[in-house]
Structure 1
Amino acid sequence: MDRTQQNLLAQKFAAMHNPKDLPMLCNAFDGGSARALASHPRAKAIASASYSIAISCGSADNDLTLEENLAGVKGIIAAGVNAQPHPKPVTIDLQDGYGSHLERAIEEIIKLGAVGCNIEDFNRETNALWSVEEAAQRVARAKQTAARCGGGAEVGLDAAIKRGKAYLAAGATTVFVWGGGRVVQSAEIKTLVKEFGGLLNVSMQLREGFLNKQEIQALGVARVSMGPGLYTKALNAFSSEADAIL
């Protein structure tokens, strides 16, 4: 895929982030799962999940290195680039952006063919959140790098809104608000949708008793991802079959 085609794909992916064209991102965990998604007519885009990549290479999510992540997503990106009849956008979970290696991380996934990424505002080196200003600067740096290439602590809702608005102002396409180990509630989602002008990304829980696609879409979010949900289901099925055999 040449750079012009990649730029057009990036523009297409960015335009998907709205309630009317709600992108449901099933997170792939390797090249095979990504190819399955790439061949699905209703899969508009493909995403990776760092947790799944880490487990696949025998690491913990917080210990996943940039090199390991890049190696893990290579096949995922290739599946999107080579999708038929047209390439599909691939967005990569870059965790916290890997500290001072942020620009390199962005450059490397663009070289592989990705057109999007998500970056946490949590600094793994200090085990604390970046300040709002620092995190917003990192979003801006990521955007600048993409353009140049051609392509811990509990936070309350008010603080999350302040941070999210700063990141959107810095050029982020959407904002994902982590629930700090709990599921973000419907009322909170409604507030975040209102404050972010709909530019909110939520993670859908693939379990009974949680919001489904239609219910989430009705809240007005701009993007839905599964995180490691599909990977976990696949592992559970694998374990169940192995248990039956053994």
Structure 2
Amino acid sequence: MTDQKARAETLRGLHTGKMLVLPNVWDAASAEVVAEAGFPAVATASAAVSAMLGYPDGEGAPWQEMFAAAGRVARAVSVPVTVDAEAGYGLAPREFVDRLLETGAVGCNLEDTDHATGGLVDAGEHAQRLADIRSAASDAGVPIVVNARVDTFLGDRGIPEADRLAEAVRRGRLYREAGADCVYPIGVRRRDDLAALVTELGCPVNGNVGEELDLAALRELGVARVSYGPRFYRAALEGFKTAIKNL
């Protein structure tokens, strides 16, 4: 626990100052590649991990298998590991924290999608869940780093396009007040929207690389953290397919 506490504090510190870039991984081998390249932390991508395990994304894989995969990632590297834990798999806050810490990870993504309905969970209820997870982590003695994903910009979540920015700000503020360390408005494609989120939230924000948002643009906007999701997993698979076709 002492080592995990130190790694959690290290990961939290990486959200200030220089932008934290996280090329997301899916297994021990890909984690080793990222760590050996000099990245100071490793993050998993649920879509990539679930695909590697043979399940669809969106909590289609059993949480036991997802956490087992995360454990193999954490054992393979010495840098802090943060896990894409989707919506938390319906685990009670203390059980969620205990199972996460058992993997050796010290951080997590938690999204506000309701996978039973395909919409978004109530923002207040999700904020309370984040607060309960923060409290459980404190009780466990490891201040895990919580990256609160806000899914309003995903087009299939039922939020009209005109309302997505305002709703993302509202939710992000609630999640930050509940104890989230970073807010992750996934799916933002427009530079102006992301700039507004960074300004309005006033806390570390996780961005994604896109057509208008390369690493230089994200750095200029003041984004604290950048993740890639399953992009590198899919690229690796395409490379494998090409190699096989050329045999």
How do residues 84-103 of structure 1 correspond to structure 2 at under 5 angstroms? 88-103=79-94
Q: Quick one: which of 15, 18, 21 aligns to 1:17? A: 15
1:231 corresponding residue in structure 2: 233
How do residues 25-64 of structure 1 correspond to structure 2 at under 5 angstroms? 25-41=22-38, 43-62=39-58, 63-64=60-61
Cα distance in 1 for partners of 2:83, 2:50 equals: 13
Q: Deviations over 1:97-122 (max 9, x none)?
A: 11244432321121221110010011
Q: Deviations over 1:172-226 (max 9, x none)?
A: 01111133xxx52100010000011142101224xxx443212211110111111
How do residues 71-82 of structure 1 correspond to structure 2 at under 5 angstroms? 71-80=68-77
Cα distance in 1 for partners of 2:212, 2:23 equals: 17
1:168 corresponding residue in structure 2: 176
Task: State the aligned residue count.
Answer: 229
Cα distance in 1 for partners of 2:94, 2:206 equals: 23
Q: Percent identity, aligned pairs only? A: 32
Cα distance in 2 for partners of 1:241, 1:102 equals: 44
What letter corresponds to residue 10 of structure 1 in structure 2? A
C-alpha contact (below 8 Å) 2:183/2:205 kept by paired residues: yes
RMSD over aligned Cα atoms = 1.5
C-alpha contact (below 8 Å) 2:45/2:83 kept by paired residues: yes
C-alpha contact (below 8 Å) 1:204/1:211 kept by paired residues: yes
Instruction: Please state whether the residue corresponding to 1:27 is helix, strand or coil.
Output: coil
What letter corresponds to residue 117 of structure 1 in structure 2? C
Cα distance in 2 for partners of 1:74, 1:113 equals: 6
Q: Quick one: which of 190, 197, 206 aligns to 1:192? A: 197
Cα distance in 2 for partners of 1:4, 1:100 equals: 25
1:159 corresponding residue in structure 2: 167
Q: Quick one: which of 104, 113, 138 aligns to 1:113? A: 104
Deviation at 1:145, TM superposition (A): 1.8
Instruction: Please state whether the residue corresponding to 1:123 is helix, strand or coil.
Output: coil
Cα distance in 1 for partners of 2:47, 2:83 equals: 12
Ranges in structure 2 where 5+ consecutive residues have no aligned partner? 143-156
Q: More deviation in 185-194 or 3-12?
A: 3-12
Cα distance in 1 for partners of 2:214, 2:72 equals: 29
Cα distance in 2 for partners of 1:243, 1:204 equals: 30
Q: Deviations over 1:127-157 (max 9, x none)?
A: 3211111010111111112112211322611
Ranges in structure 1 where 5+ consecutive residues have no aligned partner? none
C-alpha contact (below 8 Å) 1:203/1:224 kept by paired residues: yes
1:147 corresponding residue in structure 2: 138
C-alpha contact (below 8 Å) 1:99/1:125 kept by paired residues: no
Cα distance in 1 for partners of 2:93, 2:26 equals: 22
Cα distance in 2 for partners of 1:133, 1:198 equals: 19
What letter corresponds to residue 202 of structure 1 in structure 2? G
Cα distance in 1 for partners of 2:202, 2:180 equals: 13
C-alpha contact (below 8 Å) 2:130/2:179 kept by paired residues: yes
Cα distance in 2 for partners of 1:210, 1:120 equals: 24
2:151 corresponding residue in structure 1: none
